[in-house]
Every structure is written in structure tokens, then in C-alpha cells.
A and B are shown apart, each in its own frame.
Chain A
Amino acid sequence: MIGRVRVRVVVNGVRHEREVEPRLLLSDFIRHELGLTGTHVGCEHGVCGACTVQLDGEPIRSCLMFAAQADGAAIATVEGLAPAPGELAPLQAAFREAHGLQCGYCTPGILMTLDAFLKAHPHPDEADIRAALSGNLCRCTGYQHIVAAVLLATRRNA
């Protein structure tokens, strides 16, 4: 039985250690304890995908996991995608060029989903991309420009 739990994680290559309540969601840990507010919180019940981060390389919903469960894990958030301040990762650059975002609320979750997807499937077709995006809601773009951005990124990668 534990009142507060210790969480030791490596986020985007940086070590962090905190004592937190067991009920603290991983999404709130990332935003409020670590100050990494690029991870967005939409529905908080696993439907919208805005809070998607990578846990040991795999995209997951950070609102459906407690921070305590991530003890010992490596987490990647959208802040870790770009190679350096002022630069964009190739996928981010493609989103910018192809107008793959409008309000941008869903974008961090979509990028973290697609970053993992493209590592496993570097040459997807449009149907594969749409299937990969099934768990991320976007209410602005109608997905057309998002799919176009991913195709642009994969063409450059070819």
C-alpha cells in the first residue's frame, strides 16, 4: 500500500523523477509535472487521440494510463521530434507545406502516431495511412491534407 509513488522516466532523452499521487494520469504528469504542454488533452477517455505519446516506442493514449505505470519507461512526446530548436522533423515540415493542420489541437497526437507508424511502414499507401490514423480525430481538415502531408513525407524519404 502506497500513498505517493515514485516515477522515474526518460522523456525525450531527459531523465525525470517525481513523487506523485497514484491517480495522476500520464497525460497530466507530462503536462503539469514536466511542463511539456505539447501533449494535448482532448476527451480524456481514449476516443480522440490528442494525448498520444510513445511509450518505449509504441504510440499509446497517455490519458488511459497512470503516471505510476510508466515508472522506468522511455517516453517520446512531440517536443522530441524536431532535431534542434528552430528546425522541424521531415514529417513536421511536410505537415507545414501540405497544410496538414488548421487549429493544431490534434496535431501532436497525430505526429506521434505517424512517427511510430512510418518507422514500421516507411512506404504506406493512402489506405494504410488512413487506417493508421483511425484513432486520431481531427475536426478541421477532413484528413485530406493530413494524408497528403504523409504521402509527401514518404515520397521524400523514398
Chain B
Amino acid sequence: MKPAPFDYVVAESVEHALAAKRRYGDEARFLAGGQSLVPAMNFRLAQPAVLIDLNRIPGLGDVRRENDVLAIGALARHRTLEHDPNVARHAPALAEAATYVAHPQIRNRGTLGGNLAQADPASELPAAAVALDASLHVRSAGSERQIAARDFFTGVFATALEPDEMLVRIDVPALPPRTGTAFMEIARRRGDYAIVGIAAVVTVDDARRCVRVRAVLCGAGNSPVCLAAPERVLAGHRGSEAGFAEAAALAGREIDPPANVHATADYRRHLAGVLVRRALALAVSRAEGGDPGGWRGRPAGRITT
């Protein structure tokens, strides 16, 4: 099918894009990578009167290390998340999660900002952003503000963004020493949205006791679910199979997962437990090994097609 007609605005700057959004309001949509919006337009599920193309705004996809923050421009492509050495080093859960997003052709176009603003409950990157305590920098024509990733996702395809606001940057704070991260998921086929996925971030002290434990699920609710049990069970203790298993057993009770053609709620609950156990074990081993993202020993230019 073909999209309905629309007027096309090529934004030359963030200010230009925001002024256009203020002018056209709900009739206008921002066009980032377009890998969700354009299919919706092809099906005529979305029929914006105006498209504001963000792809030519200089610098909007840049990745920069600023003080203790990795600042990722909203237009950074999934491919950049996969391959940028700064992302691999400072936001390894995002780099690992990006390898699970769709297919190479999609990752060459899709953007981090677009993915987060789309707020698909099964999407990988929102869970990674919440687990990493990312802060989302949002602007409108008259104001700007920071929204914590954990407060950004308000429901199925719903975010805290106001109609005239745009997500312009994702700030990921530096990982504390002795921190390990892991992203993994279960999907029917490579490149599918996760049935359930998990981003885990664990920090241990110099006696290898867990200090801080984040385990955030995608596909398990209306938005990313940050589990309470893993930190409650593991804090103050060394990572152990018994501890991971206890956290896994409790995780299923914290979630109210959807049932649909892809999986029943019970199956998703089961997967959540399995993933909690595996991801915590991997994140702890990476924290203890001083290799936050598990990249050590991988060949340069590793294949993550």
C-alpha cells in the first residue's frame, strides 16, 4: 500500500523542527529513522498531514563523552549503537541490546530516539535505557527538561512527551567501577521483537558482594518493568546460583504479562524467570571480571550483522 499525501518539511535545525511542530501540532509527526512510522503510513494506520524530517539536522546523531556522561544524539542509528566504541565501553547494555533489534537493513536506518519515543512494550532499547539509568533530554520551542528513563514510558506506545516536545539526546551516566551488564531475549526468530527480554546491570564491591542490581524486562508489561526482587535478594551477598534462582522465582510474581498469539502470560512469566537467572549470572561474572560488556577477547570488527 501507499502512504496518504502529506506535506514534507526538511528540518535544518532542532529549533526549526520544534517551530514546525508547534505550528502544525498533532497534525505533524517527526520523521526519524522511519522504520516504525513509514510501515504504519504504508498501511494508512498513520496519516500525518505533515512530516518533519529530522534526518538532515547536523549533529543530532552524534555520540559524545561529556564529563561522566555518554551523550547519545537522538538520531544515532542502531548500527552506531552496535559499532561505536564509546557506546560499547560506556553503555554496553545498549550496544548489546541493539544487536537484537530487527535486521541489518533496519538497524542502518532506525534511531535510538525514534525507538524510545515509539515506546513499543516489546522493544529492547527502552529496557536497556531504564536499566542504565539514562536521562532523556527533551526540548520544545519554549523549554527543555530532563526525564528519567524510568519515568518516560507511561504505557503501550505512550510516553511522557508533550505534543510539542522532541527527544533530542539520551544521557547515559558512567558505570560505577566493578559493574557488569547483560542484555538477552527470547524471540521466535532472529530479529523479531522479544517475547520477553531483559537488561541487567550489577555493581559489586571489592569483596564481590552485590551493591546495586537492576533487572529490567521488556515484553512483560505495558512498558519496561524494573524488578524489585533481584536487588532485594542479592544486595549484600555474592552472586550465587542459589541467589539467582531465588530472584528468578520471585520475578514471575512481580509482573502481569500480556497474552497474545505469540505467547501466553504463563509462558512469559516462565521466560522472565529464566532470563532473570541467566542475565544476573552473566552480569555478575562480567562485573567480577572487570569486563562490563563482555567485549574482551572479541575480535575487532566483530560480526553483529
Q: Name A residues whose Cβ lies closer than 8 Å to a Cβ of B.
A: 1-3, 5, 21-23, 25, 28, 44-46, 49, 52, 55, 58-61, 63-66, 68-69, 113, 117, 120-121, 124, 128, 131-132, 134-136
User: Per a CB cutoff under 8 Å, which of B1, B2, B106 touches A135?
Assistant: B106
Residues of B within 8 A of A68 (CB): 8, 10, 53
* B38 at the binding interface (Cβ < 8 Å): yes
Contact A23 B34 (CB under 8 A): no
| B210, chain A: closest CB distance, angstroms | 33
User: Which of A3, A23, A55, A136 has the largest number of chain B CB atoms within 10 A?
Assistant: A23
| B98, chain A: closest CB distance, angstroms | 14
User: Which of B31, B35, B42, B191 has the largest number of chain A CB atoms within 10 A?
Assistant: B42
Contact A64 B34 (CB under 8 A): yes
Cα–Cα, bound, A66→B4 (Å):
12
Contact A134 B6 (CB under 8 A): no
| B56, chain A: closest CB distance, angstroms | 9
User: Per a CB cutoff under 8 Å, which of A2, A21, A66, A117 touches B104?
Assistant: A117
Contact B108 A58 (CB under 8 A): yes
Given contacts A45-B43, A59-B104, A61-B105, 6 further A-B pairs with CB under 8 A are A25-B38, A59-B105, A69-B53, A113-B104, A117-B104, A134-B190
Given contacts A1-B7, A68-B8, whether A60 and B109 have CB atoms under 8 Å apart is yes
Given contacts A58-B108, A61-B109, A64-B34, whether A134 and B103 have CB atoms under 8 Å apart is yes
Residue of A nearest to B190 (CB): A134
Q: Name B residues whose Cβ lies closer than 8 Å to a Cβ of A.
A: 1-10, 31, 34-35, 38-39, 41-43, 50-51, 53, 55, 79, 102-106, 108-109, 189-191, 301, 303, 305
Residues of B within 8 A of A25 (CB): 2-3, 38, 42
Residue of B nearest to A109 (CB): B105
- Provide 14 A-B residue pairs closer than 8 Å at the C-beta atoms, listed in order of the A residue: A1-B7, A5-B8, A22-B51, A23-B4, A23-B41, A46-B106, A61-B106, A61-B109, A64-B39, A66-B8, A68-B10, A117-B104, A121-B301, A135-B191
User: Per a CB cutoff under 8 Å, which of B5, B103, B108 touches A23?
Assistant: B5
Residues of B within 8 A of A65 (CB): 34, 38, 109
